[in-house]
A = this chain, B = another copy of it.
Amino acid sequence: MSSLDAALGETQALMEQALDTYLPPAAGPEARLHDAMRYAALGGGKRLRAFMALQSGALFGVDRTALLRAASAIECLHAYSLVHDDLPCMDDDDLRRGKPTLHREYDEATAILAGDALQALAFQLLSAVELHADPFVRAELVHRFALAVGHAGMVGGQMIDIDSEGREVGIDTITRLQRLKTGALIVFSCEAGAILGRAAPSQRQALVGYGQDLGLAFQIADDLLDVEGDPEAMGKAAAKDAVLGKASFVAVMGAERARAQAEMLAAQAVAHLDGFDARADLLRALAGLVVSRRA
């Protein structure tokens, strides 16, 4: 097992523990909501965004507990986005991480509410005094996060995605779609460690650049997986995008060019880290993994 695989496995275990602590225990007449939030956020996921936050923070010696809290916020946000994306009126998915999607296991109303509450919990975690003694850091983190996950970020991208179903869209629109839908939160995940570590502007910018290129590479690889991947290994349906007539890099560029593009972007992402020492090696290795993954 490579040191990257080991570190990713450790992150998954740490995040399961951290999220278990931060998610509300099922209690009271609203216990169904708590249960559903836990169902959505616990028990799986590659935790790549958490890994990015933990690794970027480690570059600046940020306290591990603070990083796990910030990473939990990011994973709660990500979990909410999956729950809402899976809804019948969106992608209408039945399986996620090998389990029934939340609205299949519970119901649509509970899925919408669990997503809504996970978004609020993410902001609660980031703004808590326990995250960082300096309130400027907390407010800055919340503000960047809000920008990354709202209309100018993730939700904006999801709107383009839904809206472009069955329509011919150009490479410009697909790039914008992905930069917003998955890119913005990945960039935030890489930047969060720099904000928490009060890194120099040039170092923070380097991590933003890394996140931008990595995010796009990740998405192209995801599009390739949708076409070529093994549904069993992925724990979700494949060839879904093509069936839905979704805009994708592969549809517009073809698989071969898309793969070359992803590899180029991964190399570019690594180049952004030139100013960092060996402590950035896991982030460097991650860029390679992202474009070679099979699930």
Contact = CB atoms under 8 A, between A and B. Distances in A.
Contact of A151 (B117, B151, B163, B173): B117
A79 interface: no
Nearest to A143: B127
Contact of A30 (B107, B112, B117, B157): B157
Interface stretch (A12-20, A132-140, A277-285): A132-140
A159 B112 contact: no
Interface residues of A, number: 59
A30 B89 contact: no
B113 A24 contact: no
Interface residues of A: mostly helix, strand, loop or mixed? Answer: helix
A117 B150 contact: yes
11 contacts: A29-B164, A30-B156, A32-B159, A34-B151, A89-B108, A113-B155, A116-B116, A117-B155, A117-B156, A127-B143, A135-B138
A160 B89 contact: no
Given A112-B84, A142-B139, A146-B127, A156 B33 contact: yes
Contacts of A152: 24
Contacts of A158: 113
